[in-house]
Structure 1
């Protein structure tokens, strides 16, 4: 059961940033004893894989903090983040970690359903983020993009580490993060409607 929670949390992190959980489990497997990837996922700790993911992460960290570009990036990431979620769910839930010593056999028997489940999980925070960001940019004249992106990156990194060490706590944090994203979206939409109604009233007078 814990391996499923680990995979779910890693997929949630991928919904915020596609590359942080991929790079995280690759580095943890390569340089520590905290993660032992199964043979089919050993490529994640390969020098080339880590290098490519690192470069993509650097680009994401920059682009996601620039107003307008962040929204374009979110459109492109609609494919990338769910795919990353599927990968990290499959890899994470079939790996030995600090909390999971014997991953369930069904996870390793077929990669299709774990991948699909991870993609669906990652899609939830991705969509919440993609819809909320343009609203936030309008309300803050773009000033909120960098702050919001930095907090999302920090959340993705924290979820990645907790998923490996304390899966249950990581799950609680992931649920709390989803709730916060929903509340941010609702507040943003409410503020946008309020601004539009005030502007309409001002025009009428």
Structure 2
């Protein structure tokens, strides 16, 4: 159960920022015993891989705070964030095999699929609300919202590793914060469709 909650938290974090949970898992796996990725995920702890992820994270942090550029970045991230979610979910579920369910151990594709779907759903919600934030704040809100997303991704990644039982609370809080924004996007699109028709 705890391995699944860890995977849930990390893949949710990957939907907000692909590189933060990868870097958290990689650094903790390299320098501590908090996470021990299995052999097939040893690449996550490689120094060169960590350096590349850190550079990509820096680029993401900068690009995601610039209006319009953030939208282009979200399009590119549509493939990257779900892949990251699948990787961190599977790496941590496999690392905690003693804690993982027998079904998850026997069907590793299930953790890949779960991580991909969770990260994709979070990413789609994030990507659909950002144009509304940019339009309603004349772009001023982009850096604020992006910084909150990065902080949320880091916080959720750390909670997922060190206090996985709290992931349930964190995911509910994220959904409660995100749902009103998604509803505003839907209302705005409905109004625009009404004007066009």
Matched, 1:164 2:161: yes
Matches within 5 A, 1:1-205: 1-96=1-96, 102-187=99-184, 190=187
Who wins on radius of gyration, i.e. which is larger?
1
Q: Which runs of 5+ in 2 are unaligned?
A: none
Number of aligned residue pairs: 193
In structure 1, list runs of 5 or more residues that go unmatched: 201-205
Query: What SS does the aligned partner of 1:116 have?
Result: helix
| CA–CA distance in structure 1, aligned partners of residues 102 and 25 of structure 2 | 20
Which runs of at least 4 in structure 1 moved beyond 3 Å after TM superposition? 100-111, 187-194
* Secondary structure of the corresponding residue to residue 162 of structure 1: helix
Quote the Cα distance in structure 1 between the aligned partners of 2:105 and 2:63: 35
Q: Which moved more, 1:176-185 or 1:25-34?
A: 176-185
| Distance (Å, rounded) in 2 between the aligned partners of 1:164 and 1:19 | 16
The 3-state SS of whatever aligns with 2:33 is coil
Q: Distance in 2 between matches of 1:14 and 1:134?
A: 20
State the TM-score, normalizing by the size of structure 1: 0.86
Root-mean-square deviation (Å): 2.1
